[in-house]
Structure 1
Amino acid sequence: MQYKRLGRTDISVSEICLGTMTWGTQNSEAEAHEQMDYAVGKGVNFFDTAELYPTTPVSPETYGRTEEIIGTWFKKSGKRKDIVLASKVAGSGRPHIRGGRDIGAETIREAVDASLKRLQTDYLDLYQIHWPNRGTFHFRNSWTFDASAQDREKARAEIAEILETLGALVKEGKVRAVGLSNESAWGALKYLRLSEENGLPRVASIQNEYNLLYRQFDLDLAEVAHHEDVGLLAYSPLAAGLLTGKYRNGARPAGSRATINGDLGGRLTPMQEPAVKAYLEIAGKHGLDPAQMALAFCLSRPFTASVIIGATTMEQIKTDIGSADVKLSDDVMQEIAAIHRQYPMTL
C-alpha cells in the first residue's frame, strides 16, 4: 500500500480509501466491521463517509446510519487515531436533511456536531462539501448544466460563508482539513483564492467521480490539481459496478446495486455497453481482473490522491484492495487510451 500527502496538509492517506455508502442497507453492522478490520489489516488508513449515507437507497429512515456503524467500530476497536476519517455535509434538496436547506454557516455546524456524535469522535480529519449550492454538472447533469443561470454574487458569498465557517471549525479542533466534492474548476479556484486572501483553510482535495467511462477530471481540474496540490479522491471508480462486467447483456444480479437503485444513478444505459465491452476485452486479453484493471488505471493518474472503493462482499473488497499491487503495462495503457478516444464519455 502506498501513501500520499493530502493536499498541503501533514495528513498522509492510503492510495486506497474505504468507501462506506452501503453500510446500513446492503451491508449489516457486522459486515461493515469486518470490512474495516480487513482493510486496516491491508494498510488502508483512510475511510470516507457522509451524513447522507447509506445511499442504497437513500431514505429518511436510514439517514446517518453509516456514520453510526463507523462509530461503533471505533468504540470496539479503539483505532480512531489510526484512521484518517472523512465525512461530508449534504447539500440542499433532501427534505429529510435539515428541511433541504442550502449549505451555510448554521447548517454546517448542525451537520458537524451530529456527525461527530454518530461517529463517536471529537474531530474529523477531512470535512467535505458534498455538492455546491449553486448546482453541479455531476450526477449525470453534464447534458443540461447551464452555469449562466447561476447568481454570481450569491455563489461568491456562499463560498465565502462556507469557508469562513470551516475555518472556525478548524480553529475549534473539530476539523483538521477541508475538501470539496462534485465541484468544478471555477469553484475549486474560488475556494483557494479566498483561503489565500483571508488566511482560511486551504482546500486539500476534491472528491469527484472518475472512472474509465467518465473522465472529465482529465481536463481543467487535472490542471488545478497539479498546480494547486489539490488531489482527486476518485469515487465510483468502477462506475457503480459497470466496469466489473456484472451487468453485461442486461444482467442484474440478485442483491446488486442495480436491483436497488434502478439505473445506477443514470449510468446503466445502452450508451455505456460498447465501451464496457471494449474495456472488458482489454482485461481478458491481458489476463487482468476487470475491476482491478479499472482501479489500477485510476491509481495510475498523476492527480489521484486516493481511490475510493466500495464493496458489499468480502470477495469484492479483497479484489479491490488487491488493485494496489497491479501495475498496468504500456500496452494496456495504450489500448485504454484508444478506447477512450472512441468512447470519450458514455455516462
Structure 2
Amino acid sequence: MLASEEAGSAGAGLGSAVPRRRLGPGGPEVPVFALGSWNIWDRMGAEERRALMRRAVDVEAAFFDVAFYNMGPHAEASRTDLLFGETIRELGLARSDYRLCGKLWMWEYPETGFAGQMDESLARIGAAGADPERFDTVVVGDFAGEPDIAQVVRDVQAEIDRGSFASWGVNNWPARSMQRALDVAAAEGLTAPAFAQLKYGLVRRSMAEGDFYGRWFSEGALALQASDVFEGGILVGKTAPARKIGADVGGIRERIVEAYPRVAEIAASFGASPAQLGIAFCLALPATANVLFGASSVRQLDDNLGALALLEREGAERIREATAELWIDREVRADGVWDPAA
C-alpha cells in the first residue's frame, strides 16, 4: 500500500489525481511521478509537448525536473529547458499549477557559483514568457574530486535565503559526502538536504538499499527520488538505445540488457507493462518520494500511471518478492564511493 500521507487513491483510474508523498524532511509534498528534463522536451514536437504537459497537470502529476545542460559531461547546450518554458507559456499555466525542481551543477564549482546558475536557469525558462520566479526545490549535482562540502551547504543556504528555492537534495553523492553535509547543516543551523536523487530500480539497488543511503532512508532522515529507472529505455524494451543515457556504474549494462526478457516476463505475469513494473517496484520502497522518468508522449505517461493500480492490486511485498532475482548491482561500489566517471 502507498504511504498514509499520500492523497488520493492509487487504485483509481487515469482521470484521478496522482498520490503525493513528502520529498524528505522540510521538503514539499510532491506527486509520486516526476517528469525529467534530460532532453525529453526536445524529443517531441510542440503539439506533443503541450499534450504531455497538459495531461500531467490534469492528473496532478505536474512535477518537472528542469535544468540547463551546459557543464561537465552534460555540456550539451540543450534547448530542452527553453522548450519547457515555451510550453508553459503556450498552455497559459500559472505557477501554482506545477512544481519545479532545478539543478545546481558542481562540475565548475566554485568558479561557477550557485547564484549565477539559478539566475541563468530561471531566465532561460522565462525567456519564452513563462514566469517561474523560483524553483520549489533543487538537486545539487554529482561531482568528481573532493569539493568543500561545508561551503556547498553554506552556498545552498545563501540561495535559500535569497528566495531561489526552499529545499534541496543531492544527485548520486558518495555517502561520506552526504554525511558531511548533514553534519555541517546540524552544527551551523543550516538547511540540510532533504532527499537524494539516486539511480534506483529493478536492477540497480545498492545505493538506496545497501549501506550507502539505506540507513538514512530507513530512519526517515532523507527521501529517495528514484532516477534512471528504465536504464535509458533498456528495461522497457529499447535494448540498444541510440541516444545518450546515464552512466553505466560498475559496467553491468550488458547484464541489464540480458535481464530485460525476464523483466518483461515478470511484468506479463502481473498483467502489466515493464514500465509499470519498474515504477511500482520503486514506489514499493517506503523511502521513495517520487520516480523521475522521461516520458515523451501522453501514451507513455498514461502507461506509467498504471503502475499505481499495479502496486495497489498486488502489494509491495509481492512485487519485491517477484523481482528479487533482478538485483544485478549487489556487489557494485562495495567501498561506498560513487564514481560518476565509471
Whether the TM-score (by the shorter chain) exceeds 0.5 is yes
C-alpha contact (below 8 Å) 1:35/1:314 kept by paired residues:
yes
- Corresponding residue for 2:229? 237
C-alpha contact (below 8 Å) 1:70/1:119 kept by paired residues:
yes
Of 212-221 and 67-76, the range deviating more from structure 2: 67-76
| Off by >6 Å, runs of 4+ in structure 1 | none
Superposed, 1:8-157 pairs within 5 Å as: 8-9=25-26, 11-52=28-69, 60-62=76-78, 65-76=79-90, 77-92=92-107, 101=108, 103-104=109-110, 106-120=112-126, 121-134=132-145, 155=147
C-alpha contact (below 8 Å) 1:25/1:54 kept by paired residues:
no
- Corresponding residue for 1:259? 242
| AA in 2 matched with 1:80 | R
C-alpha contact (below 8 Å) 1:208/1:232 kept by paired residues:
yes
Report the alpha carbon displacement of residue 343 of structure 1 after superposing the two structures with TM. 7.1
C-alpha contact (below 8 Å) 2:226/2:288 kept by paired residues:
yes
Report the alpha carbon displacement of residue 87 of structure 1 after superposing the two structures with TM. 1.0
Rounded Cα–Cα distance in structure 2 between residues aligned with 1:26 and 1:268: 27
User: Which structure shows the higher helix fraction?
Assistant: 1
Rounded Cα–Cα distance in structure 1 between residues aligned with 2:84 and 2:123: 11
Q: Aligned residue pairs: how many?
A: 303
In the alignment, structure 2 segments of 5+ residues that lack a partner are 1-17, 127-131, 333-341
Per-residue CA deviation, residues 176-208 of structure 1 (Å, 9 max, x unaligned), is 111111112222221111111111112111111
- Corresponding residue for 1:270? 254
Instruction: Give aligned-pair identity as a percent.
Output: 23
Rounded Cα–Cα distance in structure 2 between residues aligned with 1:223 and 1:268: 25
The change in CA–CA distance for 1:132 and 1:84 in structure 2 (over 3 A counts) is same
State whether structure 2 residue 191 is matched by structure 1 residue 201.
yes
Of 2-11 and 266-275, the range deviating more from structure 2: 266-275
| AA in 1 matched with 2:96 | K
Of 69-78 and 125-134, the range deviating more from structure 2: 69-78
- Length-normalised TM-score, structure 2: 0.80
CA-atom RMSD in angstroms:
2.7
Report the alpha carbon displacement of residue 105 of structure 1 after superposing the two structures with TM. 7.3
- Corresponding residue for 1:6? 23
State whether structure 2 residue 153 is matched by structure 1 residue 169.
no
- Length-normalised TM-score, structure 1: 0.79
Rounded Cα–Cα distance in structure 1 between residues aligned with 2:161 and 2:141: 21
The change in CA–CA distance for 1:171 and 1:332 in structure 2 (over 3 A counts) is closer
Query: Which one of 187, 209, 218 corresponds to residue 218 of structure 1?
Result: 209
